Homo-oligomer: A and B are copies of this chain.
Amino acid sequence: MPTIKDIATMTGVSIATVSRVLNNQGGYSEETREKVENAAREINYYRNEMAASLKKSSARIIGLIMPNAPTLFYGDIVEGIETVASRNNYSVIITHAGQDGTNLMDCVSLMAERRVEGLVIASMSLNKSVEEQIKNLTFPVVLVSTCAGTDIPFIKVDDESAAYDATNYLIEHGHQEIAIAGPNLSDQIAGLPRVTGYRRAMTDHGLVVEPEWIHPGTFSFDSGIAAMHAFYNLAHRPDAVFAVSDDTALGVMNTAMNLGLRVPEDLAVIGYDNTRIASMANPALTAVSQPFFEMGAKAVQKMIGAIDSGREIDSEILHHRIFERRSV
Which A residues lie at the B interface, using CB under 8 A? 1, 44, 46-51, 53-54, 59, 61, 68, 70-72, 74-76, 78-79, 82-83, 86, 91-96, 109-110, 112-115, 136, 138, 221, 247, 250-251, 253-254, 257-258, 276-277, 279-280, 282
Residues of B within 8 A of A76 (CB): 70
Instruction: Give the interface SS of chain A, mostly helix, strand, loop or mixed.
Output: helix
Residues of B within 8 A of A44 (CB): 136
Given contacts A48-B115, A110-B91, A114-B50, contact A250 B280 (CB under 8 A): yes
Contact partner of A70 among B51, B70, B79, B93, CB < 8 A? Answer: B79
Given contacts A75-B75, A280-B254, contact A50 B46 (CB under 8 A): no
Q: A1-B138, A46-B113, A61-B93 are in contact. List 16 more A-B contacts (CB 8 A).
A: A46-B112, A47-B113, A48-B54, A48-B113, A48-B115, A50-B114, A70-B276, A71-B75, A72-B276, A78-B94, A82-B94, A82-B95, A91-B93, A92-B95, A250-B282, A254-B280
Which single residue of chain B is at the shortest CB-CB distance from A47? Answer: B113
- A68 touching B79, Cβ below 8 Å: yes
Residues of B within 8 A of A138 (CB): 1
Residues of B within 8 A of A50 (CB): 50, 53-54, 59, 114-115
The count of identical subunits is: 2
Which single residue of chain B is at the shortest CB-CB distance from A63? Answer: B91
Residues of B within 8 A of A257 (CB): 282
Q: How far is the CA of A280 from the CA of B79 in the complex (A)?
A: 24
Residues of B within 8 A of A47 (CB): 113
Q: How far is the CA of A68 from the CA of B75 in the complex (A)?
A: 9
Contact partner of A258 among B1, B276, B280, B282, CB < 8 A? Answer: B282
- B49 touching A113, Cβ below 8 Å: yes
Given contacts A46-B113, A93-B91, contact A254 B282 (CB under 8 A): yes
Q: How far is the CA of A93 from the CA of B110 in the complex (A)?
A: 13
